[in-house]
Amino acid sequence: MTHRTFTRRGLLKAAGLGVAAAAVSGSAAAKTFGKTARKPNIVLILVDDMGWTDAGCYGSKYFDTPNIDRLAAKGMKFTDGYAACAVCSPTRAAVMTGRYPARLGVTDWIRARFQGGKIPANKVNPSVSGWTRGGRGKLSCPQNALWLELDEITIAEALKPAGYTSCHIGKWHLGADEWYPDKQGFDTNIGGCDHGQPPSYFDPYKRGRQGNIPTLKPRKKGEFLTDREADEAVKFITKHQAGPFFLYMAHYAVHTPLMGKTDVVAKYKAKTPTNQKNPTYAAMVESVDDALGRIVGTLESLKIADNTMVIFTSDNGGLLGPTSNLPLRSGKGYPYEGGIREPLIVRWDGVVKAGSTCKVPVTSVDYFPTVCQAAGVALPADRAIDGESIMPLLRQTGGLKREAIFWHFPHYRGRVVPYSIIRQGKWKLLKRYTGKPFELFDLEADLSEKTDLAAKMPDKVKALDARLKAWLKHVGAKIPRKVIQTRT
């Protein structure tokens, strides 16, 4: 399939003129991807902090997730789906733009107004030139962005010239006020703001001195937030069923604070625990599953499921404590598989074979080009898109061209020190900028990352490190540097 390309200005101008700037004609798209000339609807569901094994189809014996399991039975389950970062904002930026966090300067979770951050008066993103200074013997690290720049092209903006109506529901966490979803191409924004987590999951969504969600008007005291998100999604789908539409359902759940509906929590308290045993967290997972059921059920009842691509995934690994990611090592925030490997399921009836499984590594930057190709719309011409469309995997017609995927986290976070990662084939190299320099794992033989092979395979380390360094230079990644100590 051939893609024409546009700049952001060209895309928005086309949208303003009502031009369907498709990369291929409707009939060509239909011949390639579907049975009719209709452009497919896109539903992208991003759960917050959901771990790789937090669903029955991924091995959980504790959580009840019939709708997630049914989605996998009707679509393709990826065993090696990855988030672009072990924390949320960088992954969200990568999902929206198809560009690696290191290229965007969004490499840690955004501390904007709600988290006590301060928006610079000059409106210059601190990631442009700012650095933080550690104590003696520590590294100086690049400052993280406080917003996703408006000149980035989001999925919503890419789809707009092709006639798509777009809706964001739930967590945004890519900037405050003038960087909200409605400023980034979405026609409707319900709940998206600078909050990294809701003050409360129960209407009016406030707790103590913390205000409620500014873009979600309370309507029924005690209503559970995930249920409200699902209700808004159903309303949007029903209203725009003629399509094409893009729904970005970015759940606040299952992020802390841990809160669940009383009866569902009680249900899990009565269940036999496994390595996963938190009843409140389990209730939150079930609410996300219920929401998926309502969305898919609406698509089916309106008879538009066969013309809708549904993508279900998470923004980073499960948080240790509330859940367990075993057999994966560690969890959210950490560079091991438990921090970055995610559930990923794609359903598109008539395109994706029901009950299929894919073991090819896929990551957050791939959704942008995949959606663009599925919709037959333009890719930007004035910037690099790091992701690769996974349509050949979904259609089982071929593989991907790339040989490796990458991560870059140039920050301190608790016990985590700045690091970069490359995964190439079965090999994963973890590079730290302070302390132990390398860890090397064979993920096919050692999924739990128990055996570090770096000392035994120095040539493999050297080769992978060279590839990693080349990538870091290519995307303009900022590398932590030593603090120069001066005498006074």
Catalytic residue, chosen from 168, 173, 195, 408, is 173
Contact by Cβ (8 Å): 196, 109: yes
Dihedral angle sign, alpha carbons of residues 31, 33, 38, 39 = negative
Q: Return the structure tokens found at 452.
A: 């570090």
CA dihedral 190, 149, 479, 434 (to 10 degrees): -20
Burial 347-374 (b: 16+ CB within 10 A, else e): bbbebbeeeeebeebbbbbbbbbbbbbb
Catalytic residue, chosen from 85, 88, 141, 358, is 88
**What is the helix (H) or strand (E) element at residue 358, kind and residue range?**
strand 356-358
In angstroms, the CA 95 to CA 148 distance is: 12
In angstroms, the CA 264 to CA 290 distance is: 12
Active site annotation includes 173 = yes
Residues 6+ away with beta carbon under 8 Å from 24: 1, 2, 32, 376
Helices (H), ranges, 315-356:
337-340
Phi–psi pair at 182, nearest 5 degrees? -70, -15
Neighbour tally for 174: CB within 10 Å: 31
Q: Return the structure tokens found at 62.
A: 């504790």
> DSSP string of 81-96?
EE-SSSSHHHHHHHHH
Q: Which positions are annotated as active-site residues?
A: 88, 173
